[in-house]
């Protein structure tokens, strides 16, 4: 029992020792990485690394001693202590050593002086403070718009003084960094031994990013000095010149003509002379849109209004108008600005309607209404009459003496029909030329109305294939009303057979080596037999038996198949050549 208690004590001691060791916080090393000048001329930035061990506490902190002295002439060591801390998640604590990087700033140093620096009495590193002999300032701050005639103050630091002869100073001051910026040498003023002011000239060369002006002060401007020129920078804020196009109501194809657009500048102003503005502003993006030369107004330094002219050249998709303003329109500016306005297209349509469906018997004298959408008819009825035509059925015309303009968008016409027979249902096609429509100069509008043929008439129709034009066609028995039925996919259609009851026609094509069929009007083309053929000639149907027959001169066979192309059989394979 006593032995067991001793073992427990030993175990507890070992555990406590492990915990203590686990929580130990020690830095393995600390060393300087670099010593660099600070933001001003009286400081140095010491960058250093130190290592520490991850532990169960989740944090680590340690104080470091920094010391420094002037190198030449050698000064006394000065020192400071600063504590640094790090922390980490205790949920991830593998036993390992990691390194951290920190910075310490030494302040109150002498400008343009080299110092020796060490960390925790370690190795010595050197760093030199900045030498900033010239201070640049401007009130107000310089921007792209205030650059021209902007006043800048150049102040000497330390013990330097300006020459008393202003002409020496004027010739020694230069500026660079932004194209078009120079010093007006005649404006240089010596305010005191250590301060001068200069006025800037700027020819308005545009820039769109904040940019630094660098001033250089040559030795001739400084009393008893023969060294390198002093330089200093001052930031100039860029002004992004933009133009916006504004309208009271969104532009559409129907409202484009005579719409007024306001062009508003930001960061720039328009020239006073309106003629300069007119020459420099253009519009593009939609054919037929221009700016009315007689309707310009310079409302203010930043706003100009223009009126649009539109010749009604049609467009059917939403499009952007682009307004461009060349530099000639903008005061003290040498770049081009542009902006866009969206224009909604109006899809113009025409629809034909009748009170009762048209038939062959009711064609003559029927009244057809032609209704426009998105556009209007001309006021002059004679112009409308001349621009209306009808086609599709032989013998049908429009009685131009009966045309009525019922409203801006509705016209009624009466049909004349001379009784020329037609055997199939056919569409009448109404065409309205641009002359009938106000402010419209594009292609004619068309619309259709189906006319039902007289089913009681015994008029026959003929069908044929044409291997020269690669078409299947039909017409009345007298040759009238020729129609193209199949015009695509044929390379040598040579024979045709009809299933009138089933509403199908069948044909062979020796060019494509296919047997095909379609509805009697040419729609719904189907491939029936496409394999094993090489020189098709002729086709015949046995509708009751559901079979079709054909000859093939390439393989010297007579064959048959079901009407859907299945179950191909060889019937005659010998003695054919």
Please tell me the predicted confidence (pLDDT) of residue 4: 41
420 lies in the same domain as 487 = no
CATH number, domain containing residue 115: 2.60.40.10
247 and 325, same domain (yes or no): yes
* 266 and 225 fall within a common domain: no
Reported as type and span, the H/E element at residue 187 is strand 181-192
Please tell me which residue, 28 or 295, carries the higher pLDDT value: 295
Query: Which residue, among 518, 368, 373, 523, has the nearest Cα to 450 in the 3D structure?
Result: 368
pLDDT digits (tens, 9 = 90+) for 414-453: 999 998 877 678 899 999 998 999 878 778 899 999 998 8
Read off the pLDDT of residues 230-250 as tens digits, 9 standing for 90 and up: 999 999 998 888 999 999 999
Residues 552 and 511 reside in one and the same domain: yes
What is the Cα–Cα distance from 482 to 497, expressed in whole angstroms? 18
Examine residue 189 and state whether it is found in any structural domain, yes or no.
yes
* Confidence class for position 200, pLDDT limits 50, 70, 90: very high
> What is the enclosing helix (H) or strand (E) of 168?
helix 166-172
Residue 4 placed within a domain: no
pLDDT by residue (tens digit) across 520-538?
889 999 999 989 888 888 9
What is the 3-class SS of 280-312, one letter each residue? HEEEECCCCEEEEEEEEEEEECCEEEEEEEECC
Residue 52 lies in a domain: yes
Based on the fold, state whether residues 445 and 468 are members of the same structural domain: no
Q: What is the pLDDT of residue 93?
A: 53
Query: Do 291 and 200 belong to one domain?
Result: no
Q: Residue 405: which CATH number?
A: 2.60.40.1220
Question: Rounded mean pLDDT of 315-342?
Answer: 90
Residue 213 and residue 233 in contact, taking contact as beta carbons nearer than 8 Å: yes
Examine residue 228 and state whether it is found in any structural domain, yes or no: yes
Per-residue pLDDT of 66-91, as tens digits, reads: 999 999 999 999 999 999 888 876 65
Task: Count up the domains in the chain and report the number.
Answer: 5
- Per-residue pLDDT for 26 more than 70? no
> Average pLDDT, whole number, for the chain?
87
Contact 434, 444 (CB under 8 A): yes
Residue 351 has pLDDT above 60, yes or no: yes
| DSSP string of 324-368, one letter each residue | EE-GGGBTT--S-EEEEEEEE----EEEEE-SS-EETTT-TT-EE
Residue 553, in any domain of the structure: yes
Q: How confident is the model at residue 354 (pLDDT cuts 50, 70, 90)?
A: very high
- pLDDT value at residue 164: 95
Is 470 in the same domain as 563? yes
pLDDT at 87: 82
Share of the chain above pLDDT 70, in %: 92
pTM of the shown model? 0.48
322 and 246 in a single domain? The answer is yes
Range of the structural domain that residue 86 is part of: 30-128
Q: Among the three residues 98, 128, 158, which one is the final residue of a domain in this structure?
A: 128
How far CA 535 is from CA of 127, 370, 384, 550, 551, in Å, comes to 98, 52, 56, 10, 8
**Are 313 and 389 in the same domain?**
no
Residues 221, 301: one domain?
A: no
Which residue among 107, 128, 149 closes a domain? 128
Q: How far apart are CA 145 and CA 267, in angstroms?
A: 8
CA pair distance 132, 121, nearest whole angstrom: 31
Could you say which of 390, 421, 452 is where a domain stops? 452
Higher pLDDT, 410 or 477: 410
pLDDT digits (tens, 9 = 90+) for 286-320: 999 999 989 999 999 999 999 999 987 878 899 99
- Tell me, what CATH number does 215's domain have? 2.60.40
Lowest mean pLDDT among 66-70, 158-162, 477-481, 506-510: 477-481
* Cβ-based burial of 427 (10 A; exposed 0-12, middle 13-18, buried ≥19): middle
Region 162-169 average pLDDT: 94
Examine residue 1 and state whether it is found in any structural domain, yes or no: no
Q: Within this chain, do residues 111 and 95 fall inside the same structural domain, yes or no? A: yes
- Residue 19 included in any domain: no
Domain co-membership, 483 together with 425 = no
- 16 domain residue, yes or no: no
CATH number of domain containing 502: 2.120.10.30
């Amino acid at each position: 029992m006593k032995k067991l208690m001793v073992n427990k004590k030993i175990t507890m001691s070992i555990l406590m020792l492990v915990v203590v060791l686990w929580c130990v916080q020690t830095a393995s090393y600390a060393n300087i990485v670099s010593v660099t000048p600070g933001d001003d001329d009286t400081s140095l930035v010491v960058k250093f690394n130190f290592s520490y061990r991850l532990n169960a506490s989740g944090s680590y902190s340690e104080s470091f001693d920094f010391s420094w002295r002037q190198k030449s002439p050698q000064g006394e060591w000065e020192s400071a202590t600063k504590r640094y801390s790090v922390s980490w998640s205790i949920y991830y604590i593998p036993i390992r050593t990691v390194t951290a990087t920190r910075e310490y700033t030494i302040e109150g140093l002498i400008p343009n002086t080299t110092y020796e620096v060490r960390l925790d009495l370690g190795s010595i590193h050197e760093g030199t403070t900045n030498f900033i002999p010239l201070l640049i300032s401007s009130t107000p701050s310089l921007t792209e718009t205030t650059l021209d005639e902007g006043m800048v103050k150049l102040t000497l630091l330390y013990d330097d003084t300006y020459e008393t002869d202003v002409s020496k100073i004027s010739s020694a001051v230069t500026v660079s960094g932004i194209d078009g910026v120079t010093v007006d040498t005649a404006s240089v003023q010596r305010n005191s031994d250590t301060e001068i002011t200069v006025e800037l000239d700027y020819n308005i060369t545009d820039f769109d990013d904040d940019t630094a002006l660098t001033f250089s002060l040559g030795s001739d401007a400084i009393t008893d000095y023969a060294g390198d020129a002093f330089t200093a920078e001052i930031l100039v804020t860029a002004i992004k010149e933009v133009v916006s196009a504004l309208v009271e109501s969104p532009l559409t194809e129907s409202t484009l003509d005579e719409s007024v657009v306001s062009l508003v500048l930001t960061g720039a102003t328009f020239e006073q002379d309106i003629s300069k503005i007119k020459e420099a502003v253009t519009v593009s993006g939609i054919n037929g849109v221009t700016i009315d030369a007689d309707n310009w107004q310079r409302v203010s330094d930043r706003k100009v209004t223009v009126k649009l002219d539109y010749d009604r050249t049609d467009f059917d998709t939403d499009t952007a108008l682009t307004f461009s303003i060349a530099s000639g329109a903008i005061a003290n500016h040498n770049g081009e600005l542009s902006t866009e306005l969206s224009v909604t297209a109006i899809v113009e349509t025409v629809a034909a309607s009748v009170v009762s469906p048209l038939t062959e018997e009711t064609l003559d004298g029927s009244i057809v209404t032609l209704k426009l959408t998105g556009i209007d008819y001309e006021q002059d009825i004679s112009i409308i009459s001349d621009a209306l035509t009808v086609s599709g059925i032989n013998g049908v015309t429009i009685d131009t003496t009966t045309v009525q303009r019922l409203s801006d968008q509705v016209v009624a016409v009466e049909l004349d029909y001379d009784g020329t027979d037609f055997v199939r249902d056919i569409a009448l096609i109404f065409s309205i030329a641009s002359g009938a429509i106000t402010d419209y100069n594009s292609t004619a509008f068309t619309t259709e109305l189906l006319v039902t043929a007289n089913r009681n008439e015994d008029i026959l129709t003929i069908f044929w294939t044409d291997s020269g034009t690669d078409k299947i066609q039909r017409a009345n028995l007298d040759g009238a009303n020729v129609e193209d039925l199949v015009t695509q996919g044929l390379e040598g259609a040579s024979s045709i057979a009809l299933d009138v009851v089933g509403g199908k026609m069948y044909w062979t094509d020796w060019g494509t080596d296919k047997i095909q069929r379609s509805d009697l009007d040419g729609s719904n083309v189907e491939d029936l037999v496409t394999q094993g053929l090489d020189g098709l000639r002729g086709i015949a149907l046995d509708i009751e038996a559901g079979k079709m027959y054909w000859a093939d001169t390439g393989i010297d066979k007579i064959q048959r198949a079901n009407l859907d192309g299945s179950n191909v059989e060889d019937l005659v394979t010998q003695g054919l050549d």
